Each structure stands twice: as structure tokens, then as C-alpha cells.
Amino acid sequence: MTSALFGLLGVFLGAALSWAGTAWSEHARRQHEWVLLGRSERLAAYGEFSMATKEYVAVLYRVAGGLGIDSQTERLGLNEAEPLLADAFHTRDTAFERMRLVGSSESIERARAWVQAIYQMRESLRSPNLDASGWEALVARANQARDTFHVQARAELALQ
């Protein structure tokens, strides 16, 4: 009877350990999938925000071309650009909201800095004193802000 009891205890202990090992393994797998899903969502949100913001900037470049201070793009007047800027703003704003849901506070702050630099570009296009060198300085500031955002996003997503 004692050996049967030890055998039964061994079977019970083996089953309990097997169940615990399976449960731990399943938990680890779910955690890993959750991390991958979060990373994938952040990558999509950051990419969408970047592309939408760049589209807004592309319209500003065209307006600067229309003012004769940027020769690298096709020209567009500010009045003709208003509907394009409104659409690009809406797309960028929507992308930013998605990024706010899944992004880190550091990435969000860097995205805001990039957008602020772009808003300065837009406001400067209304200034009668804006010249090519002033425009280049604004573009350089916005590009630096964009690069800072991208460095943060790549670090966060372990893409370096």
C-alpha cells in the first residue's frame, strides 16, 4: 500500500509540475506576443504620423516655392494651398492622436517639437520679410526636430 501511495503521489506531483510548466510557458508566450503587438502598433503609429507630417511640410515647401524662396519644388500660392493644408492638418492631427495612445511620453514630446517647428514655418510664410536664408533656417530647425523624433522612435522600437 505504501508503494502504491508513493506512486500515486508521484503521478500527482508530475501532473501538477507539468501543469505549472505549461501555464508558465503559456504566460510567457502571451507576454511576448503582447510586447510584439505593442511594438508593431507603435511602429505603425509613428510611421503614419511621420508620413502625415511630411505631407504637410511638402505643401509648405510648395508655398515657399510660390513665394520664390524655395526653388526645389513646384510652386503653389498660399490661397491655393489652404485646402491642401487643411486636409494635411487633419490627417496629421488624426495620426498624432493615434500616436498619443500607443507612444511613449518622450516620443510624443519630440513629435510636438517637430510640429511646433512646422507651425513656425507656416506662420513665417505670411511674413513679408521672409527671405531664402530665413526659410532655410526654419527648414533646418524643422528637419532637426524631425531627426530628433526619428532617433527617439528608432531607439524605442529597438530599430538601431
Per-residue confidence in pLDDT tens, the chain, 160 aa: 687 777 777 777 787 778 877 878 777 777 776 766 778 889 999 999 999 999 999 999 999 999 989 877 789 888 999 999 999 999 999 999 999 999 999 999 999 999 999 999 999 999 889 899 999 999 999 999 999 999 999 998 887 6
12 occurs within a structural domain: no
112 occurs within a structural domain: yes
Question: Which pLDDT belongs to residue 84?
Answer: 95
113 occurs within a structural domain: yes
21 occurs within a structural domain: no
Please list, in sequence order, all residues whose beta carbon lies within 8 angstroms of the beta carbon of residue 151, skipping any fewer than 6 positions away. Answer: none
33 occurs within a structural domain: no
Cβ atoms within 10 A of the Cβ of 121, count? 21
Q: How many domains does the chain have?
A: 1
Question: Which pLDDT belongs to residue 137?
Answer: 96
Q: Which three cell numbers mark 138?
A: 526654419
151 occurs within a structural domain: yes
Residue-range definition of the domain harbouring residue 50: 42-156
120 occurs within a structural domain: yes
What HEC string does 19-83 produce?
HHHHHHHHHHHHHHHHHHHHHHHHHHHHHHHHHHHHHHHHHHHHHHHHCCCCCCCCCCCHHHHHH
Question: Which pLDDT belongs to residue 160?
Answer: 62
Of 156, 37, 36, 160, whose CA–CA distance to 105 is shortest?
156
Residue 109 is inside which H or E element, if any? helix 105-124
Question: Which pLDDT belongs to residue 1?
Answer: 64
2 occurs within a structural domain: no
